[in-house]
Structure 1
Amino acid sequence: MQLLITGLSGTLAPHLARTAAAAGHTVLGWDRQQVSPDDLPACRAWLDLVKPDAIAHLGFGAEAWAGLMARWAAERGAPFLFTSTAMVFDHVPNGPHRVDDARTARDDYGQYKIRCEDAVREAHPQACIARIGWQIDAGTGGAAQGNNMLAALDAEQQRDGRIRASTAWVPACSFMPDTAAALLQLIETRASGTAHLDSNADEALSFFTLVQQLKRRFGREHWQIEAHAEYVHDQRLLAGARQAVVLPQLTHFLGAQALSGRTA
């Protein structure tokens, strides 16, 4: 299968690309310098030229771009996957959040993802929308980079000399290799509908406990962790009853001792 993946200059998409290549698929990226996502006729012409067998849209761009790619795939009966986010749900009303719950985002990013979801669903009714939480990755040689939790925590410790972590926030989150494997499985099985991919859905670790466990797991002895309860949100993403693809639990990477901080 020739799989087109957008967002290869980001953090999660390269994981998916490596996972797909290891499974024997041919990976094709979107070169924004060659074809601007804002030039919709050029985008369609390029898709007509390269003819991918499936599309995984992980890149950032206007909802019109997402809708065009989804429509192109729908016209050819090709699988289309769009990665959305737990941020389509605000903390009021509280979670855990189910696939059919009303999307209540108030911030710009969450509302942007809602518009993309709607554009994809209108263009390709059989598309798969995979909502994911905050991704975790140690990076090469333990140097976390990009848009991921471990990198953000490293940056906060360096900037503030401490990490403030809520005991009242149960985040949706997972490790990137697990997410990449799940996304590929959704593509290969031509899954449709909305999938929730959250490794914390069952274990319900608080953010404070998770940060403590990441400190232990990745040797961040210098982290100074300060607990607070100012942000209250059960952000977990619960899988649908018919969802065939689910993520391994966080203890897959953290170890069973992480369950000592379970909040639910």
Structure 2
Amino acid sequence: MQNVLVTGLNGRLAPYLKQALDKQGIAVHGFNRQELDITNRAQQLGYVRGNHIDAIFHLATGPEEWLACLAGIAGEQNIPMLFTSTESVFNPESTGPFTPEHPADAVNDYGLYKISCEQAALAANPNTIIARLGWQMFDNFEQDNLLTHVRDMHAEKGYLAASTEWLPAVAFVEHSMQCLVTLAKQAKPGIYHVGGNEQGLSFYQLVQMINQKYQLNWDIRPGSDPQRDGRIIDSRVACGSIAEQLAI
């Protein structure tokens, strides 16, 4: 890969993907949605051809039709197409760990939207790479990520009740983004799970490790709700361990 298109560069995750691509000397191009009409296929095809795009990473939130359009263009141009989906495609009442073979059975609006996106991408281009992500942890307390979420939970009550019976789908964002680059380079179509909690840390254990690593002096109390193994696992994807990232 030399020139890639990344959608969602003004969002939360794509800037970290850009950093991973920059480190490998890969030029990153982004859509300016003020200048480029995402409903105009001819414009998008012209952009891909004009910038010699040789891979597309779709991280932006948008209509399924836009995703299908980009996937179709990637198929026609014979270049890798990677779409980031989510572990939310699984019903929160189901229990894992979830492999890519587990049926997507979401019941909430967001999960159903992501299922619809996956289906639209694969219908437009069966060679699409779908990478399902879990909860992401950044290395700072900015934006929306694992650290800001638990910080806000603690601030709300002055303590944090954390379940010892919940094994969340979570990974360090830089590990996840490197996995996306690797998947696109391999260009093998299919659904992949990018998870960093194969060790099986509970939410309580994760919060304790965050408390120690960042010296927060939080009041953390063990709880039992929810009771669920929500991890996403995939033996084909080597994602870094969240436990190692949080180790002191």
**Structure 1 and Structure 2 fold alike (TM over 0.5):** yes
Task: Please list, as runs of the form range in 1=range in 2, the aligned pairs for 1:179-218 lying within 5 A after superposition.
Answer: 179-201=176-198, 203-218=199-214
Deviations 1:222-250 (CA, angstroms, capped at 9, x unpaired): x222332121221111215xx2x321222
Q: State the distance in 1 between where 2:47 and 2:157 align.
A: 46
SS in 1 for 2:174: helix
Q: State the distance in 2 between where 1:211 and 1:172 align.
A: 14
Partner of 2:239 in structure 1? Answer: 247
Partner of 2:108 in structure 1? Answer: 107
1:39 Cα deviation (Å)?
4.7
Partner of 1:234 in structure 2? Answer: 229
Alpha-carbon spacing, 1:41–1:150, altered in 2? closer, same or farther (3 Å): same
Tell whether the 8 Å contact from 1:91 to 1:232 is kept in structure 2 after alignment. no
- TM-score (ref. length: structure 1): 0.87
Partner of 1:46 in structure 2? Answer: 47
Task: Please list, as runs of the form range in 1=range in 2, the aligned pairs for 1:90-239 lying within 5 A after superposition.
Answer: 90-139=91-140, 144-201=141-198, 203-221=199-217, 223-239=218-234
Q: State the distance in 2 between where 1:214 and 1:39 align.
A: 45
Partner of 1:260 in structure 2? Answer: none
Alpha-carbon spacing, 1:224–1:37, altered in 2? closer, same or farther (3 Å): farther
Matched, 1:64 2:55: no
1:122 Cα deviation (Å)?
1.0
SS in 2 for 1:126: coil
What number of residue pairs does the alignment pair up? 247
Q: State the distance in 2 between where 1:28 and 1:132 align.
A: 22
Runs of 4 or more off by more than 6 Å in structure 1? none
Q: State the distance in 1 between where 2:213 and 2:72 align.
A: 43
> Partner letter of residue 253 of structure 1?
Q
Q: State the distance in 1 between where 2:41 and 2:153 align.
A: 39
> Partner letter of residue 33 of structure 2?
R
1:42 Cα deviation (Å)?
4.0
1:157 Cα deviation (Å)?
2.4
Q: State the distance in 2 between where 1:33 and 1:135 align.
A: 29
1:48 Cα deviation (Å)?
4.2
Considering only aligned residues, what root-mean-square deviation do their CA atoms show, in Å? Answer: 1.7
Structure 1: tracts of 5 or more residues without a match: 258-264
Partner of 1:35 in structure 2? Answer: 36
